[in-house]
Amino acid sequence: MSMYQDEFRRSIDHPEAFWAEQARRIPWFTPPTTILEYDAAGHARWFVDGELNICHAALDHHVEQGRGDQPAIFWDSPVTDSKRTLTFAELRDQVARFAGALKALGVEKGDRVVIYMPMVPEALVAMYACARLGAVHSVVFGGFAPHELAVRIEDAEPKVVVAASCGVEVDRVLPYKPIIDAAIEQSRYKPEACVVFQRDQHRVELGAIDHDWATLVEKAEPADCVPVKGSDPLYVLYTSGTTGKPKGVVRDTGGYAVALSYSMDTIYDVAPGDVFFSASDVGWVVGHSYIVYAPLLRGCTTVVYEGKPVKTPDAGAFWRLISEYRVKSFFTAPTAFRAMKKEDPDARLMAQYDLSCLKALFLAGERLDPPTFHWLDDLMDVPVIDHWWQTETGWPIAANLQGLEPMPTKAGSATVPVPGFNVQVLDREGEPVGAMEQGSVVIKQPMPPGCLSGIWGDPKRFHSAYMAAFPGYYLTGDGGYFDEDGYLFIMGRTDDVINIAGHRLSTGEMEEVVGAHPAVAECAVIGIHDALKGQLPVGLVIPKDGFDGDEVALEEELIALVREKIGPVACFKQVLVVDRLPKTRSGKILRKLLRNIADGKEFGVPSTIDDPASLQDVHEAMKDRSVGTAHEARPI
């Protein structure tokens, strides 16, 4: 049996023994004696009676072990022309002081804190400070509009909001304060305080509930780490579901710490002292897991990059960073490489840098499309690894395990299930399908440590969204298949979640915004193929009877509305006014048919945003698929 097979089998056949062994990686205050138990609803809970603090495990512990002078963060911000290095000791001290500041504002164990910050070290300081106090952070991505922030504030009910005065997008300064003020105004729940980190690019006037970060920290006493239980929540991270309301994915502390530590060894093959660079954002799960927590837990240095893969200043930005900081393991989304390839197809900029430090390149956030895989594979001397995961799992479900047993890569495949994840492919009846047959990709319970422990404030939704479709299995929402060699191919979502430039968004949420316009009778939003961003949303809209306004003006209004309500990150820039939408006899929109048209399963070629003719196909197809046609009976 190969090393992988042996480890995988042990993790599935004897999960308690396997994860008890892995738990030794963590400096617990009180090691767990109960490794796995199930709650009343049958969901796995890991390490419930262990006591730890993840801030202690990631910072204080390393300082105590003699890593105090090692860089913890390399911050690199070409957009502000700044760089900064923070050692483990410096970061621990800053975190302890800021935790003291939050404590002085009344933040205690279990309280929520919403964080709305760009890629600055202070974002990590704020997250670790919450963890230090046992408070639950909820970081919101800067590209979301006030309404989205308000929805999250209302759901999480934070005692305090922590924000920066601005973000910087390439060469544009984006003031954050008006977004926060508008969000708090819109939210029925009102936080008690807002801490503002003033950036030199844009300093703001403070209002009645606002506190200046620097002043608070100056007055603060450093706070100690508060012990929490293994199953206590570390954070709530909102992600798009199929309805308008985002899901607050709850992450526990102990299982997460153990899973991340295991992944750094087994998947990413990094050791203490190595440099890890994940080019994502703290607002996404990749940022939480592989910018903030995992590298520092493992005693690595993390690169915090405020910039884009291109234009800051050019498509060589990532190569420069890898070379300058001697990065061993690099992780980003395929869309970032597509953007680089567009600007620098022969990767001439890459040749300017010494990349001998790099041992592997990891991609996730969306499917690594074969053309991008081949471009990179031809270019790089190191393995190019697609690995598959989601906000809910918090760490990779399938990967090519560089620290355990590297395997040959295959274009389009995330290789094999990671130990702990019993991945199965089921048909509609819940029966396993054979090799090469597509179906719903599910994970047999128990899910390994690190995966979501619930939906914030909504246990019913946890069950209905993930556990109800196939009892005993977690529904990933992705479709795919295993090939004859046991390699897993993830082919895309089977629901109304779409992936735009590696960002997960809900078409349902966009439909709610579009459908609320007074001139719109009905609408559907679908994701269609885009060569750069993977997918882009297109709104199909039927105006109300009697609408005699200007269609172009309506389209523009709807585009502006989605930008205002959801934010620029939705990239909602195409609306098509149509006569009808394909429906069942009972009047439900045939969403799967629309998805199939967009994916090319109906016409053989995917629709693309750059090709108006293909959008016309969508339009024409809808005319053909009118209410009650034979198509409704067809399995689609």
SS3 247: strand
Q: Residue 400's binding partner, choosing from ligand AMP, ligand COA, none, with beta-carbon cut-off 5 to 8 A by kind?
A: none
Residues 59, 88: Cα–Cα separation, whole Å = 6
Q: Are 446 and 44 in contact (CB under 8 A)?
A: yes
Length of the chain: 636
CB-wise, 260 or 597, nearer to ligand COA?
260
Residue 8 backbone zone (phi > 0: left; psi -120 to 50: alpha; other: beta):
alpha
Nearer Cβ to ligand COA (155/281): 281
Question: Of ligand COA, ligand AMP, none, which one sits near residue 541, judging by CB under 5 to 8 A according to partner kind?
Answer: none
Residue 366 touches ligand AMP, criterion: CB under 6 A: yes
Q: Which of 478, 522, 599, 602 binds ligand AMP (CB under 6 A)?
A: 478
Q: Which does 414 bind (CB under 5 to 8 A by kind): ligand COA, ligand AMP, none?
A: ligand AMP
d(CA 528, CA 621): 15
204's contact among ligand AMP, ligand COA, none, with CB below 5 to 8 A by partner kind, is none
* Binding interface with ligand COA (CB under 6 A): 142-143, 167, 169, 174, 280-281, 284, 286, 308-310, 332-333, 335-336, 339, 364-365, 501-503, 533, 568-569, 571
Q: What is the number of the residue whose Cβ is closest to ligand COA?
A: 365
- Say which entry of ligand AMP, ligand COA, none residue 335 contacts (CB below 5 to 8 A, set by partner kind): ligand COA
Provide the residue type at 560 as one letter.
Answer: A
CB nearer ligand COA, residue 286 or residue 597 = 286
Segment contacting ligand AMP (CB under 6 A): 160-168, 452-460, 476-484, 551-559? 476-484
First-last CA distance in the chain: 40
Residue of 78, 458, 468 whose CA lies nearest to 238: 458
Q: From residue 448, how far is each of 49, 234, 366, 533 by CA, in Å?
A: 17, 17, 22, 31
Nearer to ligand AMP, 391 or 607 (CB): 391
Query: Does residue 500 touch ligand AMP according to CB under 6 A?
Result: no
- Binder to ligand AMP among 15, 146, 283, 365 (CB under 6 A)? 365
CB of 293 to ligand COA, least distance (A): 15
**Nearest-approach distance from CB 275 to ligand COA, in angstroms:** 18
Residue 120 and residue 545 in contact, taking contact as beta carbons nearer than 8 Å: no
Instruction: Say if residues 392 and 406 touch (Cβ distance below 8 Å).
Output: no
Considering beta carbons, is residue 49 or 344 the nearer one to ligand COA? 344
User: What six digits make up the tokens of 126?
Assistant: 């704020």
Q: Does 499 bind ligand AMP (CB under 6 A)?
A: yes
Among 121-129, 253-261, 305-313, 358-366, the segment contacting ligand AMP (CB under 6 A): 358-366
SS3 string, 418-440, reads CCCCEEEEECCCCCECCCCCCEE
Question: Checking DSSP bridges between strand 71-77 and strand 82-87, what pairing results, if any?
Answer: antiparallel
CB of 547 to ligand AMP, least distance (A): 36
Query: How far does Cα 512 stand from its chain's mean position?
Result: 22
Q: Which is nearer to ligand COA, 78 or 167 (CB)?
A: 167
Three-class DSSP category at 63:
helix
Q: Which of ligand COA, ligand AMP, none binds 274 (CB below 5-8 Å, type-dependent)?
A: none
Cβ proximity of 399 and 387 under 8 Å: yes
SS3 46: strand
**Nearest residue (CB) to ligand AMP, 161 versus 385:** 385
Q: What does 239 interact with, of ligand AMP, ligand COA, none (CB < 5 to 8 A by kind)? A: ligand AMP
Q: Among 493, 529, 591, 625, which residue sits at the site for ligand AMP (rule: CB under 6 A)?
A: 493
- Non-local (6+) Cβ contacts of 494 within 8 A are 440, 477, 478, 479
Decide if 159 contacts 123 (C-beta within 8 A): no
Site of interaction with ligand AMP (CB under 6 A): 239, 285, 364-368, 386-391, 414, 476-478, 490, 493, 499, 504
